[in-house]
Amino acid sequence: MPGENLTRDEARERAGLISVDGYDVALDLRSAVRPEEHTFHSVTTIRFRCARPGASTFVDLLAPSVDSVVLNGRELTPAAVFDGGRIALDGLDAVNELVVNARCAYSRTGEGLHRFADPEDGEVYLYTQYEPADARRVFATFEQPDLKAPFTFTVTAPEHWTVLSGGERVSHEPASEAAATWRFAPTEPISTYITAVVAGPYHMERDVYERTLPDGGTLRVPLGALCRRSLAKHFDAADIFTVTKQGLDFFHDHFDYPYPFGKYDQAFVPEYNIGAMENPGLVTFREEFVFRGKVTRASYEGRANVILHEMAHMWFGDLVTMEWWDDLWLKESFADFMGAFSLVEATRFTEGWITFANRRKAWAYRADQLPSTHPVTADIHDLQDAKLNFDGITYAKGASVLKQLVAYVGREAFLEGARRYFKRHAYGNTRLADLLAVLEETSGRDMAAWSRAWLETAGVNSLAPEVRYDAEGRIAELAVAQQAPASHPVLRPHRVAVGLYRRGADGALERYARAEADVAGERTVVPELTGVGRPDLVLVNDEDLTYCKVRFDEDSLRTLRGHLGDLTDPMARAVVWSAVWNMTRDALMPAREYLAMFLDFGGRESDIGVLQMLHSWAGTALEHYAAPAWRAEGARALADGAARELRRAEPGSGHQLAWARFLARVASSEGDLALLRDLLDGTERIEGLEVDQELRWTFLEPLAAHGLADEEVLAAELTRDDTASGRRHQVRCLAARPSAQVKAAAWSELVETDALSNALVEATISGFAQSGQRELLAPYAERYFAVIERVWAERTIEIGMAVVRGLFPHHQDSPGTLAAADAWLAGHPQAPAALRRLVLEARDDLARALAAQGCDGAVA
């Protein structure tokens, strides 16, 4: 569509020309309850100034039609000025008023104003999601983060609905017999992408946060939590409010800047594309955080982390916002770091840094080894680039780098820098240099050198111990060797702890010596450990202070193969598990060796978050990194191990539930599948294991994939659970069935039509791409490369990303598929850069899998 992909140069030119005084946005959403209606009425009034009277610019709007455009009282002809993505504005005055009357489209893709009909009660629920640039799907806007302004929303909707926006409600008046109009107070100056509207018959619970301020006054923040009415019976708002208050306490204690946006509502909404969004005063979350069945402690920890991540954005991102998406890290890296920081120090989830080391960093390590890796502070040319940069680099690597920064400058200097940053740039926009300036002030450190090493270069370093012993078996010299990949040959400064571990008489593997060191260059000696007795294990990056891949010397590897489970420190285990997984991904450890360690020691892992990550890695190792000839044997071993640990786990525990889910993932033999079927129908029971509705669907998917649960069985299950979640589960299970006709129908729904909502696209892809159905999926490898450019052109970027990533023929793991990907990349040099990036990343994953399979096959 013309004008849809705003470039950085265009944004900078426009920001130099105009400044925005305010928006008034009026939305009429009464049509939402009529399924045949696909649009709503949107009227936007924008007051703005122009630095060069007489100049021209444009306003962004993605809408089916525009009824009228009035600039400074002058009627413009919509057909002449609106191209489907932009409205051209000529002859600007010094002070301007623009009124745009448009018909905007309801979304089924989670972009713009999403409309969802609840199958349980037939009610309609709406919410907005804009990042990075979809406010223009709802109202006319200068869609870039540095043109901040106050926003005043007015919404007309069915009278029985709950309607919320970022500002406080100031009036609620009848609009007709069955409708009402809600008017909201102006927001503080904010960017377009964090404005929000939520509307529908939501269930809402309320609370209040109060705090005495240093000047003796009282800060009072009204709290709200809401979800669909049909989920209300599962909604644990009390826990959400507890974490919210703990977070507000923490950030007020450390930021010295009171929460600036009045109220704090949190809406859990259906068919949401991401985890959550930091709209000030009205944070939106995916409703999967409302748990319909039993979940593990890790799920509650994950939800708490997301709540705190979004709360940190109220300061990092909303109060102070990056100028352009190049500096997206200024909000996302900080929110990711502060989410973990506050989680550990303010809530019951004191193990949060363990989860960060094991799970969050895994995302970063993968992203940083892709051909599309980039510096934390990136080069974002346009909005499609920006969309793809919400990745493991911007979030998890950036957060890891900030954790390293705290070790480098000190905790108080870091927090004082944040405090000065907020006060100096409140309601403004910043670049990298603005943050570095305050940190240099508070720490006295050379932040430019630190930034060049950590923020302005890409790639992940490897740190390995080099140890020499004297005749008495004591350490003569211990050094840390640093390597960088050839593609990004940068050696960075690291603050690391080196831990020495040995086994005691009771068999426990415990640390008996430790030293911190500033590692720089190719080799750094750690003199503090000279003369210490010989260890069984040398662990570089003990306590996970820096961002690196950890390697081991041969003695340490030998110890881990036999005694990893004897490590008593949970953080040390998390770092070790991450390290051996990275070795497996890098084809330095055969997949079957990693899986043997998992089977020997996974059942002894006490941290449930780490265990669930191990389950994910084990599944990936089997499906992608194990030699094809060994997969069947490996699957039997994993299923046997899962069944054994399931029966061994404490009844009713999170570990028991996690092993049940893992068994469903790896089950393939007649016996495995019979156990799942028997647990479903109640002929088999395992003490403490509650097979609730969510677990029933988990068990049904492998049964469907192996032809043991047909359409009739799945229809009967939907009768038990005719909910939005139940329908997604059923769609996934239906697409998983081992039939050529089923696969053809699923492919057609994904590629040839746009009939599915975003949530059903995700579910269909998940069911379609079964690792155990490689032969059945083989015909679609060639078709994939033939259709992806068309799909990208025809669909929204959110759906395009889902299809291009989800349908890549990962399970056709052969040199031929790799060659097909290379041929597509070579033959489509003019394809959109974002599309090429997605294919290049998938191609890299496939190449890595083939290398790992070669490593694993070499030990056969």
Catalytic residues: 310
Do you know the residue count of the chain? 860
Q: Which helix (H) or strand (E) holds 551?
A: none
Tokens of 645: 């640990």
Nearest to 463 by CA among 549, 547, 538, 528: 549
Residue 132 CA to residue 324 CA, distance in Å, equals 10
Q: What is the sign of the dihedral through the CA atoms of 828, 829, 830 and 832?
A: positive
Angle at 115 between CA 112 and CA 119, to 5 degrees: 155
Residue 477 CA to residue 534 CA, distance in Å, equals 11
* DSSP characters over 685-724: --TT----HHHHHHHHHHHHHTTSS-HHHHHHHHHHT-SH
Tokens of 526: 């750690």
Residue 791 CA to residue 801 CA, distance in Å, equals 10
On whether the CB atoms of residues 593 and 552 are closer than 8 A, the answer is no
Could you give the 3-state DSSP secondary structure of residue 464?
strand
* DSSP characters over 606-665: --HHHHHHHHHHHHHIIIIIS-GGGHHHHHHHHHHHHHHHHHHSPTT-HHHHHHHHHHHH
625 in the Ramachandran plot: left (φ > 0), alpha (ψ -120 to 50) or beta? Answer: alpha
- What radius of gyration, in Å, describes the C-alpha atoms of the chain? 28
Q: Is the peptide bond before 132 cis (omega within 30 degrees of 0)?
A: yes
Q: Find how far residue 97's CA is from the centre of its chain.
A: 39
Tokens of 679: 């647990």
112 in the Ramachandran plot: left (φ > 0), alpha (ψ -120 to 50) or beta? Answer: left
Residue 353 CA to residue 814 CA, distance in Å, equals 38
* DSSP characters over 97-139: EEEEEEEEEPBSSSSEEEEEE-TTT--EEEEEE-TTT-GGGTS
51's CB contacts (< 8 A; 6+ apart) are: 16, 17, 18, 19
On whether the CB atoms of residues 796 and 111 are closer than 8 A, the answer is yes
* Pairing, β 151-158 against β 18-28: parallel
Nearest to 41 by CA among 189, 175, 227: 175
Tokens of 324: 């352009």
Could you give the 3-state DSSP secondary structure of residue 484?
coil
Nearest to 664 by CA among 568, 580, 772: 772
* AA letter at 22: G
Nearest to 107 by CA among 86, 91, 130: 130
On whether the CB atoms of residues 460 and 381 are closer than 8 A, the answer is no
On whether the CB atoms of residues 24 and 140 are closer than 8 A, the answer is no
